[in-house]
């Protein structure tokens, strides 16, 4: 009787949880915890508080996974509108931290509304395309583009390039999966490329310089190039098998900035080498593959475009982060998913994960 109760509880607990996704994320978080520990143990250890963040994230994921996609759909418009309002408020009364106006004071704490858009944006666009599924016209794509560009502009204005990239990418993936014609995609790429020289001439000198530094960090070794120079040294000196856990000299001698957050990959890479990097990339690839599999089998347009967008967002995070730390992409504030320290980003990621699990577990129900 009692055993039965436990059995039922267990079933209830795992009913909507996707095994493969969970395993992959657990392994990633294991790496993440070890790396956060290595990056912070000689100062103030953050591993424990990161573990708490992860538990909170898992709870959020579990809760979201219980909700069928139809219910999620209801949140789309209110969440999006709330996000926009908060962004406007930030623009008007936000708090400036380190030269960027990203925060909204709430008396006891402050929140970063742009974070909401990471989920609200794909949700809103997915809802929108789902609504007009029967007769998608070009103007629907145009309106979707507008829905994307307005908050994107507000975020970029803060400025928060990292979040803008993530939100923009998430929105674009929805539009892409909704069937944005290839001609338009190619047309946009061509237009963008040909506009670049004109934009270049319109930029201020300091803006150009900033872009040049992004391309060649050694041109400003003590300024913005410093991070990249030090992180590439960390990665390169890690070699094939790394210097060993807790043994990274670049890390422990504080040459790597933001080493437990955005630059955690440099720490990991220095201590684990090419082998560790390959395993990490493989894990992300598995995560994405599983996400895409779930998406491909999803039963509604809403679930498909949302799932596709969330899955590819994981890719965006991972690729942009590893790309910038290894010096092939400009430095923007993007965390490495499930590795970087930080509660907010983790919760957002788990939220996405929960949605994917919800899509997966409620697929049959819908079909039936």
Partner 1 sequence: MYKRHSSFHTQDSELDRFRFRIAFAAGAVVLAFAILIGRFFYLQVVQHDYYTTRAEDNRISLVPITPNRGVILDRNGTILARNYSAFTLEITPSKIEDLDATIDGLAKIIEILPKDRRRFRRMLEESKTFESLPIRSRLSDEEVARFAANRYLFPGVEVKARLFRQYPLGSTASHAIGYINRINKTDLEVIEKNEQSANYKGTDHIGKTGLEQKYEFELHGETGYEEVEIDSGGRAVRSLSRTAPVSGNNLTLTLDMRLQEIAEKAFGERRGALVAIEPSTGGILALVSTPTFDPNLFVDGIRSEDWDLLNNSADRPMVNRALNGAYPPGSTFKPFMALAALELGKRTPGQTIFDPGFFNFGGHHFRDDKKGGHGTVDMYKSIVASCDTYYYMLANDMGIDNIARFMGSLGLGSRTGIDIEGESEGVLPSQEWKKRRFKRPEQQKWFAGETISVGIGQGYNAYTPMQLAQAVAALANNGVIYRPHLVKYITDTRTGEKTLIEPEPLRTLSWKPQNIETIKKAMVGVNKEGTGARAFAGAAYESGGKTGTAQVFSLKGSDYRAGKLKEVLRDHALFIAFAPADHPKIALAVLVENGGFGAQSAAPIARMVLDYYLLGKLPKGPAKEDETPEEDVEE
Q: Which of these ranges, 120-128, 145-153, 322-330, 338-346, lies near partner 1 under the rule CB under 8 A?
A: 322-330
7/249 with CB nearer partner 1: 249
Q: How far is the CB of 154 from partner 1 (least distance, A)?
A: 27
> Restricting to residues 105-144, which ones interact with partner 1 according to CB under 8 A?
133-138
- The answer to the question of residue 278 lying near partner 1 (CB under 8 A) is yes
Using CB under 8 A, pick the residue from 263, 315, 338, 341 that binds partner 1: 315
Using CB under 8 A, pick the residue from 102, 290, 304, 362 that binds partner 1: 304
- How many CB atoms neighbour CB 70 within 10 A? 14
- The answer to the question of residue 244 lying near partner 1 (CB under 8 A) is no
b/e per residue 139-174 (b: at least 16 CB within 10 A): ebbeebbebbeebbebbbebebbbbbbbbbbbbbbb
Q: Are 267 and 234 in contact (CB under 8 A)?
A: yes
- Residues touching partner 1, count (CB under 8 A): 51
The two tokens of residue 97 are 């931290």
Distance CA 251, CA 253 (A): 6
Torsion of CA 107, 108, 113, 114, to 10 degrees: 120
The sign of the CA dihedral 66, 71, 76, 77 is negative
Using CB under 8 A, pick the residue from 53, 213, 261, 269 that binds partner 1: 269
- The answer to the question of residue 99 lying near partner 1 (CB under 8 A) is no
- The answer to the question of residue 284 lying near partner 1 (CB under 8 A) is yes
Distance of CA 47 to the CA centre of its chain: 21
- The answer to the question of residue 181 lying near partner 1 (CB under 8 A) is yes
Q: Which of these ranges, 74-82, 118-126, 148-156, 284-292, lies near partner 1 under the rule CB under 8 A?
A: 284-292
Q: How far is the CB of 15 from partner 1 (least distance, A)?
A: 26
Q: Which of these ranges, 19-27, 54-62, 159-167, 237-245, lies near partner 1 under the rule CB under 8 A?
A: 237-245
Q: Which of these ranges, 93-101, 109-117, 191-199, 249-257, lies near partner 1 under the rule CB under 8 A?
A: 249-257
- The answer to the question of residue 326 lying near partner 1 (CB under 8 A) is yes
* In the block, residue with structure tokens 């939100």: 167
The answer for residues whose C-beta is within 8 angstroms of residue 270's C-beta and 6 or more apart is 234, 235, 237, 238, 242, 243, 248, 249, 250, 251, 256
- The answer to the question of residue 185 lying near partner 1 (CB under 8 A) is no
> Restricting to residues 150-179, which ones interact with partner 1 according to CB under 8 A?
173, 176-177, 179
Beta pairing partners, 342: none
- The answer to the question of residue 255 lying near partner 1 (CB under 8 A) is yes
Q: How far is the CB of 340 from partner 1 (least distance, A)?
A: 17
Q: How far is the CB of 171 from partner 1 (least distance, A)?
A: 15
Q: How far is the CB of 183 from partner 1 (least distance, A)?
A: 7
DSSP string, 218-247: GGSTTTTHHHHHHHHHHHHHHTTT-S-TT-
Using CB under 8 A, pick the residue from 253, 364, 367, 368 that binds partner 1: 253
Q: Are 100 and 85 in contact (CB under 8 A)?
A: no
Q: Could you give the 3-state DSSP secondary structure of residue 136? A: coil
Q: Are 298 and 207 in contact (CB under 8 A)?
A: no
Using CB under 8 A, pick the residue from 33, 54, 234, 336 that binds partner 1: 234
- The answer to the question of residue 238 lying near partner 1 (CB under 8 A) is yes
- The answer to the question of residue 216 lying near partner 1 (CB under 8 A) is no
Distance CA 50, CA 29 (A): 10
Using CB under 8 A, pick the residue from 100, 233, 246, 366 that binds partner 1: 233
DSSP string, 247-284: --HHHHTT-STTTTTTTHHHHHHHHHHHHHHHHHHHHH
- The answer to the question of residue 254 lying near partner 1 (CB under 8 A) is yes
* In the block, residue with structure tokens 């890479």: 269
Residues that bind partner 1 (CB under 8 A): 133-138, 173, 176-177, 179, 181, 183, 230, 232-240, 249-250, 253-255, 269, 273-274, 277-278, 281, 284-285, 288-289, 292, 295-296, 301, 304, 308, 312, 315, 319, 322-323, 326-328
């Amino acid at each position: 009787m009692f055993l039965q109760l436990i059995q039922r509880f267990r079933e209830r607990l795992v009913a909507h949880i996707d095994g493969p996704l969970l395993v992959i994320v657990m392994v990633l978080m294991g790496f993440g915890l070890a790396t956060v520990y290595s990056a912070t143990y000689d100062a103030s250890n953050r591993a424990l508080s990161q573990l708490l963040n992860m538990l909170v994230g898992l709870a959020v994921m579990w809760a979201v996974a219980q909700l069928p996609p139809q219910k999620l759909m209801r949140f789309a418009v209110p969440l999006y509108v709330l996000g926009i309002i908060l962004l406007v408020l930030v623009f008007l009364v936000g708090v400036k931290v380190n030269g960027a106006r990203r925060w909204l004071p709430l008396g006891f704490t402050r929140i970063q509304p742009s974070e909401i858009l990471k989920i609200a944006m794909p949700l809103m666009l997915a809802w929108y395309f789902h609504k007009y599924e029967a007769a998608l016209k070009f103007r629907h794509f145009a309106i979707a583009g507008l829905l994307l560009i307005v908050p994107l502009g507000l975020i970029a204005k803060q400025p928060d390039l990292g979040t803008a990239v993530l939100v923009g990418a998430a929105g674009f993936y929805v539009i892409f999966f909704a069937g944005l014609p290839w001609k338009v995609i190619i047309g946009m790429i061509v237009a963008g490329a040909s506009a670049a020289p004109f934009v270049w001439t319109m930029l201020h000198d300091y803006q150009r310089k900033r872009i040049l530094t992004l391309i060649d960090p050694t041109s400003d070794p003590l300024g913005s190039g410093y991070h990249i120079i030090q992180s590439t040294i960390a990665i390169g000196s890690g070699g094939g098998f790394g210097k060993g856990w807790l043994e990274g000299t670049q890390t422990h001698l504080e040459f790597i900035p933001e080493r437990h957050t955005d630059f955690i990959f440099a720490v990991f890479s220095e201590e684990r080498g090419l082998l560790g990097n390959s395993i990490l990339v493989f894990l992300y690839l598995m995560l994405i593959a599983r996400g895409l599999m779930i998406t491909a089998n999803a039963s509604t347009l809403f679930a498909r475009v949302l799932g596709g967008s969330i899955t590819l967002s994981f890719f965006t995070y991972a690729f942009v982060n590893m790309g910038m730390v290894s010096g092939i992409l400009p430095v923007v504030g993007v965390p490495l998913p499930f590795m970087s320290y930080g509660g907010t980003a983790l919760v957002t990621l788990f939220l996405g994960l929960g949605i994917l699990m919800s899509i997966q577990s409620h697929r049959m129900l819908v079909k039936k």
